[in-house]
Amino acid sequence: MSIDAHIQIDRGTFQLNARLELPARGVSAVFGPSGSGKTTLLRALAGLEPCPDSRIIVNGTPWQTPTKYLATHERPVGLVFQEPSLFEHLTVQANLDFGRQRVSKSAQTIPLDHSIELLEISPLLKRYPHQLSVGEQQRVAIARALAVCPEWLLLDEPLAAMDAARKREILPYLETLCRETDLPILYVSHSREEVARLADHLVVLDEGKVIANGPAIEILSNLALPLAREPNSAAIIETTVAGQDHTFGLTLLDFAGGQFQVTHHDLPVDTPVRLQVQANDVSLTLERPIHTSILNVFKAEVAEMAEAGPAHVLVKLTVGSNSDSDSTLLARITRKSAEQLALKPGLAVHAQIKSAALIN
Amino acid sequence: MNLQPEDWNALWITLKLAATSTIILIILGTPLAWWLSQTRFRGKFLIEAIVALPLVLPPTVLGFYLLVALGPNGPVGGFFKAIGGQPPVFSFEGLIIGSVIYSMPFVVQPLQDAFKSIGTRPLEVAATLRATPWDRFWFVAVPLARSGFVTAAVLGFAHTLGEFGVVLMIGGNIPGETQVVSIAIYDHVESLAYTQAHWVAGTLLVISFLLLVGVYAGNRKFRVWKP
């Protein structure tokens, strides 16, 4: 169960030549700057972009080979476009029913009520698209794509057409969707933040070529890739809730390198939580700092260093002794500090983490 | 009412001609307009030029060629004769053939524009929602192009109503058979029967106006979801 594809499209000025192998579970994200071919890639998977030279095999079924082309309406995908693109002449309910009634009863594996509830659109069912906000429209569009009970859900930058407030409105729904369905999702985005929050698996695309492909956590902190070099770059740490410190209103989170203390979140013990630590919020010392206001200080080892602009250096750190389950941190420090501390790969340091954010 | 029986006849023939032609035009024009709006065929401009030809041709030129083609020695008339029928010149059927060709651009162009303005997105969305090409056409393209259909029908009907030159060439002026209102008015004026001409012209004016009012009032309702 997977996507195995080699998509080749030559449009003269733009060439896409992407080899894709994606697991059939969790959220796979395709990340890349605008014009890198992400959307074309997704459209080719959906059968909307002619690509006779490509090969797309999904769960063992050929969707596209040099001799075969499965038409879009025959592919078991659900697609959400950048713009909600609801049918203007139909009510929300009729929009949901449009695809639903074209799917046989036996294939209706996802209850429509469940999608309606998940996206909280039941009060909107009788309205027409022009009576909804853009955010509501996009929620309906997601439910409409789920209504056809796809084997794959393809999301083409579903937040790109929205302002920051709308994004904050929709992201939680996407997170719930990703967490609560076992539907494999392919998510195209140029936003590092969305990818960090949602993706399990990550494909990085640049100028029509795949430059990285692997677990999201590894790729986000890979210094050789553009993701780690963005000004707001951050590392993701997988943790589990260990307990609450009621005296000080803190939540304790266990991870490979120790225990994080973050401001209170009402979560049961053992809940898996993703923590995002900005590279700018991590500072390094050679000796364990005492008398510091910073709660989260961990032993770490310098794994790798890379220049980041004229005055800064990005340091990739390994936290935790067990090499199987160690975590990675990124620290952005000045080149001057790095020189004064004589940082080099292999050196043991202490990482002071000023703040960490729970991202789902 | 001061309308004479032959005037009533002319009025009835005119309305019947316009209504029949409009229905045929919608039936023929819709697939043609859809094809023109979707195709990437290089020779598309040629088809578009042919469809638009009646816009620029003097009606008598079109009428003349139709007369030749539909007459007993023309290809169409000859075909009718060969299958044991009458050549359609100087008959109501001939008028319908002439009107359909003459009013074709007034139906095809608004439909083509309406289909084009839908854009590719709703059709792509429909395809991802399991709709076959036929489904997409009926349940997405046609409803979204609804106001285009109204415009096309109104223009097709109105243009046929006002037809003169083509009708004169291929229909002759047979009262009760091929005499339409525009020609009846012309006849009245020729014979200086101005009162009679007033009555016929006025009746046509009122009918046309009421028709348009009805259609546009209805169309406003269709547009509720349009910004």
End-to-end CA distance of chain B: 45
- A144 Cβ under 8 Å from any chain B Cβ: yes
Q: How many independent structural domains does chain A possess? A: 2
- A148 Cβ under 8 Å from any chain B Cβ: yes
What range defines the domain where residue A205 resides?
2-220
The pLDDT score that the predictor gives to residue A29 is: 94
Nearest residue of A to residue B139, measured between CA atoms: A98
Residue length of chain A: 360
Is position A240 within any domain? yes
Q: Do B132 and A145 touch (CB under 8 A)?
A: no
Of the residues A197, A220, A243, the one at which a domain ends: A220
Do B89 and B77 contact (CB within 8 A), yes or no?
A: yes
Considering only the beta carbons, identify the residue of B122, B130, B143 that sits closest to A85: B122
Nearest residue of A to residue B131, measured between CA atoms: A73
- B134 Cβ under 8 Å from any chain A Cβ: no
The pLDDT score that the predictor gives to residue A154 is: 94
A171-175, A243-247, A295-299, A309-313: the lowest-pLDDT one: A171-175
The pLDDT score that the predictor gives to residue B225 is: 43
In terms of Cα–Cα distance, which of A216, A189, A192 is closest to A202?
A216
Q: Does A287 share its domain with A317? A: yes
Tell me the pLDDT tens digit for each residue of A59-80: 889 999 988 899 999 999 999 9
- A105 Cβ under 8 Å from any chain B Cβ: no
Q: Does A304 share its domain with A244? A: yes
Of the residues A160, A195, A220, the one at which a domain ends: A220
CATH number at residue A79: 3.40.50.300
pLDDT at A322 over 70: no
Is position A75 within any domain? yes
Q: How many independent structural domains does chain B possess? A: 1
End-to-end CA distance of chain A: 26
Is position A56 within any domain? yes
Q: Do B140 and A83 touch (CB under 8 A)?
A: no
Considering only the beta carbons, identify the residue of A71, A128, A148 that sits closest to B129: A148
* Token pair 């046989």: residue: A104
- B122 Cβ under 8 Å from any chain A Cβ: yes
CATH number at residue A344: 2.40.50.100
Of the residues A157, A187, A220, the one at which a domain ends: A220
CA gap A150, A22 in Å, rounded? 16
Nearest residue of B to residue A98, measured between CA atoms: B129
Q: Please count the other Cβ atoms lying within 10 Å of the Cβ belonging to residue A6.
A: 16
Confidence class of residue A334 from pLDDT cuts 50, 70 and 90?
very high
The proportion of chain A whose per-residue pLDDT surpasses 70, expressed as a percent, equals: 98
- B124 Cβ under 8 Å from any chain A Cβ: yes
Is position A229 within any domain? no
The pLDDT score that the predictor gives to residue B140 is: 95
Is position A225 within any domain? no
Q: Does A214 share its domain with A244? A: no
CA gap A167, A164 in Å, rounded? 5
A chain contacts of residue B226, beta-carbon cutoff 8 Å? 88
What backbone torsions phi and psi does residue A137 show, to the nearest 5 degrees?
-60, -40
Reading chain B (227 residues) residue by residue, the pLDDT tens digits are 578 888 899 999 999 999 999 999 999 999 999 999 999 899 999 999 999 999 999 998 999 999 999 888 888 888 888 888 888 888 898 999 999 999 999 999 999 999 999 999 999 999 999 999 999 999 999 999 998 999 899 989 989 988 888 988 888 788 888 889 888 899 999 999 899 999 999 998 998 888 888 888 877 655 544 43
Best residue in B117, B129, B221 for a mutation probing chain A (most A CBs within 10 Å): B129
What range defines the domain where residue B135 resides?
5-225
In terms of Cα–Cα distance, which of B140, B145, B186 is closest to B163?
B186
The pLDDT score that the predictor gives to residue B221 is: 57
Please list the residues that pair with A31 across neighbouring strands: A189, A204
The pLDDT score that the predictor gives to residue B227 is: 37
Do A129 and A137 contact (CB within 8 A), yes or no?
A: yes
CATH number at residue B94: 1.10.3720.10
Q: Does A238 share its domain with A211? A: no
Tell me the pLDDT tens digit for each residue of A211-270: 999 999 889 888 888 888 888 889 999 899 999 999 999 999 999 888 999 999 888 998
Q: Does A46 share its domain with A117? A: yes
